[in-house]
Amino acid sequence: MAKTPVSFTLNGSPRAAFADPGQNLLEFLRRDVGDLSPKFGCGQGTCGACTVTVDGETHLACLVLAQTVEGRDVGTASGLARGAQLDPLQEAFMDHFAAQCGYCTAGMLISARALLDRNPRPTRDEVVEAISGNLCRCTGYEPIIAAILSVAEGRARA
Amino acid sequence: MTVHRGRGFAAINYPIGMNLGGDPSQALVHSNPDGKFTVALSAIDLGQGMKSVTRQIAAETLGVPIEDVYVDTADSDTGPHDMGSFASRGTHRMGNAVIRASEEARQVMLEAAAEELEVDAGDLVTDGRGNIHVKGAPSRTITTMAAAQAAQFRQGRTIAGRGIFLIPLSEVDPETGEMSPVTTFAHAAMLVTVEVDDETGEVTVTDMQSAYEVGRALNPKLVEQQLRGGAWMGMSHAAWETTEPYYPSRDHGPEDFNTYLMPGPGDLAPHHISILERPAEDGPYGGKGPGEMCANPVLPAVVNAVYDAVGVRIDELPVTPEKVLRGLQAQGGARPRQAL
C-alpha cells in the first residue's frame, strides 16, 4: 500500500513526512521524522519511554497511528529546551540526579511537563499519578518525584 | 482482616570484584597538545557514574583541574582491556588503574615542565588549577598547557601513562575449598518496617533505615543515587519481581512488562540512608564499590520483617501474597512475634 503524507507540528515547527499504513507514531518520529528523543522500550504501551504529547495531552507514541497526527501538534522531549535554555524540569532533573541510564528520562520529562502545564502546583500524589505510566529501573523514582515537585513549588534553578 | 506490622533487620558483607581467572582493569592516559588529558578505558558507564568518578580520580592524581580531563569509554573493542562494569568493581578496579596511569603521565608532565623551567622534576608541584611550579617558589611556574605543548612540539616527548590493576586469580585449595577471592568488602545494615495483610497476604514495605559503608564516598551524590535506586530494586526483588514464580517451572512466568510485576512510584517506602566512610586501604583514594550491595540487605530484612509481623518464614523470593497466605494457613493464622 502507498505511503501517506502526514503534515503536523512538531515542537512548534511545521513538519511533513510519509507514513506507512499502520505505522505507529514512535517509529514514524524516530525513523521518518528524525526525532530520536522518544525511546522504544516495550512497543506495547507499558513502559512509557515513548511518551509524547498530542495537542497537549500525553500519549504513548507506540500505540498511536502516525496518520492520526495529521494537522495536530506533537510535543517531544527534544522540544523542551529553547536553544541553550533548558526547561526548568530538565535543570531540576540534573540537580536532583533524577536520571541514571537515561532511557526513561525523555518520557518522564514529557509526563511531568504535561502535568505542570495543566496543574502548576500538583501534590506529591498527583506527581506520582502523572508518572505512574513511566517505568524507571535505576532511580527508585524518589529523585524524579523530588525534581518535579521542586519545579512545581518554584524552587528550581531559574 | 488485620494488618500486622513487623520489623526486620539484616546486615551484609559485599565482596568487591570477582575471581574468574583474575580481575584486571587497564587504563591509558595521555595529554593532548592543548594540555588537557584524555583517559581511555573500557569500563562502560551505564549511568552509575563511571565516567564522573574516573574523571575525578584522574584529575586528582594528575594534579590538573577536572575540566581538563576527558574520559573516553567509547569502544571496548579498541580501548584498553577491562573485565566490565559489574560486581561493583568499577570504582575499585578501574579507579586504581586510572591512578597508576595518571601517576605515570604526571611524571612525564613534570619532566617536560622541568626541562622548560631548567629545574629538577622532583622539585615541582602542581596546584590543581593548571599550573606547575617549583616547590616553595611559586613564581617559577609553567602552565600544564605550556608543558604539554613543549613536550609535543619542542621536546618530542609523549605525556602518557599506562595503568593496570589486577587482583590475581585465587586458586581454590582442593582439600579445604579455601580461597581468597577478594581484597575488599563493603558493608551494609538495614532495618525495614512492613505491613502484612493477613486476609490478602499482601506485604507493604513502609519504611527503610539503612547504613552503608562504602570506603570513601568519592562522589557523595553519585553514591546516594546508587544506594537509593539500588535499595528500591532490592525492595522490588523482595516483594515483587520474579521471572519464574513457580521455579523451576516456567508456569505463570511473566513474558513482558504487562505481567512482570514491579513497584511503581506509588509504592515507595521512605528510605533514610546513612553513608559511613571507612577508606579502604587498597581502594582508589579509599573508595570501594557501592553498586550491587545497595540491593542486598533489603531482601533478608523484608523476609525477617514478615516473620516478625505474622510468624511466617518465607525462604523463597519474592515474598508473594500466595506464599504468605499459604504460610498463614499452615500455621493456623498470624502469629505476630514483634521481636524488634
Nearest CA in chain B to A140: B229
> Which positions of chain A have pLDDT values less than 50?
156-158
Task: Tell me how far apart the alpha carbons of residues A143 and A93 are, in angstroms, rounded to a whole number.
Answer: 8
Q: What is the pTM of this model?
A: 0.92
* A72 and A92 both lie in a single domain: no
Model pLDDT, residue A156: 46
Q: Name the average pLDDT for chain B.
A: 95
Residues of B in contact with A100 (CB under 8 A): 46-48, 225, 229
| Cβ count within 10 A of residue B340 | 12
Nearest CA in chain A to B222: A97
Model pLDDT, residue A155: 54
Distance from CA of B193 to the nearest CA of A (A): 18
Distance from CA of B270 to the nearest CA of A (A): 9
Is A82 part of any domain?
A: no
Mean pLDDT, rounded, for B167-177? 92
User: What CATH number does residue A20 fall under?
Assistant: 3.10.20.30
* A64 and A93 both lie in a single domain: no
* A94 and A144 both lie in a single domain: yes
**Domain edge (last residue) among A76, A97, A117:** A76
Per the CB < 8 Å rule, is B232 touching A145?
no
Per the CB < 8 Å rule, is A137 touching B231?
no
Residue A53 domain boundaries: 4-76
Nearest CA in chain B to A125: B266
Model pLDDT, residue B339: 78
Model pLDDT, residue B165: 96
Model pLDDT, residue A157: 44
Task: Tell me how far apart the alpha carbons of residues B287 and B177 are, in angstroms, rounded to a whole number.
Answer: 29
Q: CA–CA distance from A91 to each of B30, B47, B229 (Å)?
A: 33, 17, 20
Is A93 part of any domain?
A: yes
* A10 and A71 both lie in a single domain: yes
Nearest CA in chain A to B237: A137
Q: Which region among A73-77, B160-164, B182-186, B311-315 has the lowest average model confidence (pLDDT)?
A: B182-186
Distance from CA of A89 to the nearest CA of B (A): 18
Residue B81 pLDDT > 70, yes or no?
A: yes
Percent residues over pLDDT 90 in chain B: 89
Per the CB < 8 Å rule, is A142 touching B232?
yes
Task: Tell me how far apart the alpha carbons of residues A68 and A152 are, in angstroms, rounded to a whole number.
Answer: 32
Distance from CA of B127 to the nearest CA of A (A): 29
Interval B123-134: pLDDT, tens? 999 999 999 999
Nearest CA in chain A to B269: A142
Task: Tell me how far apart the alpha carbons of residues B9 and B188 are, in angstroms, rounded to a whole number.
Answer: 11
Is A54 part of any domain?
A: yes
Name which of A29, A126, A35, A28 is nearest A80 in CA terms: A35
Is A16 part of any domain?
A: yes
**Domain edge (last residue) among A76, A103, A127:** A76
* B30 or B1: which leads in pLDDT: B30
Task: Tell me how far apart the alpha carbons of residues B213 and B156 are, in angstroms, rounded to a whole number.
Answer: 47
Sign of the C-alpha dihedral computed for residues A65, A66, A67 and A72 taken in this order: positive
User: Span B3-16+184-330: which CATH code?
Assistant: 3.30.365.10
Domain tally, chain A: 2
Per the CB < 8 Å rule, is A141 touching B264?
yes
Residue pair B58/B109 in contact (Cβ under 8 Å)? The answer is no
A–B interface: beta-carbon pairs under 8 A = 64
Model pLDDT, residue B118: 97
Q: Which of B227, B232, B260, B294 is best to mutate for the A interface (most A CBs within 10 A)?
A: B232
Interval B233-288: pLDDT, tens? 999 999 999 999 999 999 999 999 889 999 999 999 999 999 999 999 999 999 99
Mean pLDDT, rounded, for B182-211? 96
| Cβ count within 10 A of residue B271 | 20
Is A157 part of any domain?
A: no
* A69 and A29 both lie in a single domain: yes
Per the CB < 8 Å rule, is A135 touching B257?
yes
Mean pLDDT, rounded, for B54-74? 96
Name which of B201, B320, B183, B208 is nearest B274 in CA terms: B208
Residue pair B113/B132 in contact (Cβ under 8 Å)? The answer is yes
**Domain edge (last residue) among A23, A44, A76:** A76
**Partner A contacted by B174 (CB < 8 A):** no
Structural domain spans, chain B: 3-16+184-330, 23-166
Residue pair A147/A96 in contact (Cβ under 8 Å)? The answer is yes
Name which of A114, A107, A158 is nearest A135 in CA terms: A107
Percent residues over pLDDT 70 in chain B: 100
Q: Name the average pLDDT for chain A.
A: 95
Q: CA–CA distance from A119 to each of A130, A133, A156 (Å)?
A: 11, 18, 16
Per the CB < 8 Å rule, is B47 touching A100?
yes
Residues of B in contact with A135 (CB under 8 A): 257, 262, 264
Task: Tell me how far apart the alpha carbons of residues A52 and A34 are, in angstroms, rounded to a whole number.
Answer: 15
Is A58 part of any domain?
A: yes
Q: Which CATH class is domain B23-166?
A: alpha beta
**Partner A contacted by B30 (CB < 8 A):** no
Mean pLDDT, rounded, for B53-58? 98
User: What CATH number does residue A132 fall under?
Assistant: 1.10.150.120
Mean pLDDT, rounded, for B49-78? 95
Give the cell for residue B269.
517506602
Residues of A in contact with B257 (CB under 8 A): 41-42, 44, 46-47, 135
| Residues in contact with B122: Cβ distance below 8 Å, sequence separation at least 6, in sequence order | none
Nearest CA in chain A to B228: A140
Model pLDDT, residue A50: 98
| ipTM of the prediction | 0.91
* A55 and A8 both lie in a single domain: yes
Model pLDDT, residue B180: 84
* A43 and A65 both lie in a single domain: yes
Per the CB < 8 Å rule, is A44 touching B258?
yes
Model pLDDT, residue A158: 41
